Amino acid sequence: MRMLVFFDLPTLTKEDRKKASSFRHFLLNDGYFMLQLSVYSRVCKGLAEVNTHTQRLKLALPEKGSIRLLTVTEKQYASMEILIGKVKKTEKAGAIQLLLL
């Protein structure tokens, strides 16, 4: 399974920027990787692991902003298409790795 986290956090004040940065660091330290600027993804072995990481995510939520979580199967995730721009080398490598998982 795959967890996708989408977020829009305020960055107008120094304190807001620090909280947004802390949230991004939490995601990276918890095994997520950045798909786009405010979209992060994490692989989970099953529903139990999804539930564990959902609880961890809830504990790390900033007070302000909008955060969404979408859980999809690997088959659904693999059907994602990149529609704009040139595909980066890292995205190509990631797609190959997904097939091996």
Query: What is the pLDDT, as a whole number, of residue 93?
Result: 54
pLDDT single digits (tens) 50-95: 999 999 999 999 989 899 999 999 999 999 887 877 777 766 655 5
48, pLDDT greater than 80: yes
Task: Give the whole-angstrom CA distance, residue 52 versus residue 70.
Answer: 14
Sequence letter at residue 30: D
Look at residue 84 in the predicted model and tell me its pLDDT: 75
Residue 98 has pLDDT above 80, yes or no: no
pTM above 0.85, yes or no: no
- pLDDT in the model for residue 92: 60
24-33 CB contacts, 8 Å cutoff, 24+ apart: 26/60, 30/56, 30/57, 30/60, 32/3, 32/5
